[in-house]
Amino acid sequence: MARSVLIDYPSFFGTPKFWIEAHESDGIVILDAERYSMDRCEYNGNKIPVAMPPDRVFSLIRICNFDSWWQERMWKSIYDQYHASPFFDTFKDEIKRVLCGRYYCNLSDFFLDMFTCLYNILDLNTPVLMETSIPFMHEHFTDRIINIAKYVCSSVVNLPGYLRNDIQKVKFKWQKMKLNFFYDYRNDMLEMLFAKGNDVRKWYE
């Protein structure tokens, strides 16, 4: 039974309403706190079996069923909005590979793959990011990452204001963690992201 569901740890996290809105999941799966079973969860009050890889452990912050329905829906959303963009053909294969290339069971794996993809597209350095524990990898950033992925496929001439703010906020977050979002390639990335003649480099000084 293919379902798009979230597994939540009730002892540590509240109800993840974000996932209902952002991913339109069929429901919230709560781990059985008494049994801590790897294959038995509660789906809207009913006990159901949930497929889990045997090597996964409960130390993971989030275990999410990114089934093919979810992946195809996300990719269709990106395609429908941006397939006419002059930049779409350039980056579509790389972004589709992350969204639809494999079955994600760990949300952090998805984040890391998407960040790495965008870093490679934008020609940014990644070693520091790859070596960190990435404590900010949680559901709060999912929408931002998807939006940035969509934007990379879109025209740089029409940069939405809210996305401009997102990029600033994400950079500020990384700087606080001593990760320089723009590092050596900051100016090159800005020239690519933003329309020629729109000098926004002062935002990041």
Give yes or no: residues 96 and 56 share one domain. Answer: no
Average per-residue pLDDT for the chain: 46
pLDDT of 73 above 60: yes
Q: What is the pLDDT of residues 153-205, one digit of tens each?
A: 554 434 444 444 444 444 444 333 322 332 333 333 333 433 333 333 333 33
How high is the pLDDT of residue 95?
73
Give yes or no: residues 162 and 182 share one domain. Answer: yes
How high is the pLDDT of residue 81?
66
Q: pTM for this structure? A: 0.36
Give yes or no: residues 86 and 137 share one domain. Answer: yes
Which one is predicted more confidently, 1 or 163?
163
Give yes or no: residues 79 and 135 share one domain. Answer: yes
- Of 42, 66, 90, the residue at which a domain comes to its end is 66
3-class DSSP string for the chain: CCCCEEEECCCCCCCCHHHHHHHCCCEEEEECCCCCCCCEEEECCEEEECCCCCCCCCCCCCEEEECHHHHHHHHHHHHHHHCCCCCHHHHHHHHHHHHHCCCEEEHHHHHHHHHHHHHHHCCCCCHHHHHCCCCCCCHHHHHHHHHHHHHHCCCCCCCCHHHHHHHHHHHHHHHHCCCCCCHHHHHHHHHHHCCCCCCCHHHHC
Give yes or no: residues 56 and 90 share one domain. Answer: no
Query: Using 50, 70 and 90 to split pLDDT, how confident is the model at 147?
Result: low
How high is the pLDDT of residue 150?
57
Query: Using 50, 70 and 90 to split pLDDT, how confident is the model at 132?
Result: very low
Give yes or no: residues 61 and 98 share one domain. Answer: no
Q: What is the pLDDT of residues 17-65, one digit of tens each?
A: 322 222 333 333 333 333 333 333 444 444 444 444 344 333 223 344 4
Give the domain extent around 38.
5-66
From 51-60, 100-109, 142-151, 164-173, the region with the lowest mean pLDDT = 51-60
Give yes or no: residues 86 and 46 share one domain. Answer: no
Give yes or no: residues 118 and 152 share one domain. Answer: yes
Query: What's the rounded Cα separation, in Å, for the pair 191 and 185?
Result: 10
Pairing assessment for the beta strands 27-31 and 5-8 based on DSSP bridges: parallel
3-class DSSP string for 121-148: HCCCCCHHHHHCCCCCCCHHHHHHHHHH
Give yes or no: residues 102 and 82 share one domain. Answer: yes
Query: Using 50, 70 and 90 to split pLDDT, how confident is the model at 80?
Result: confident
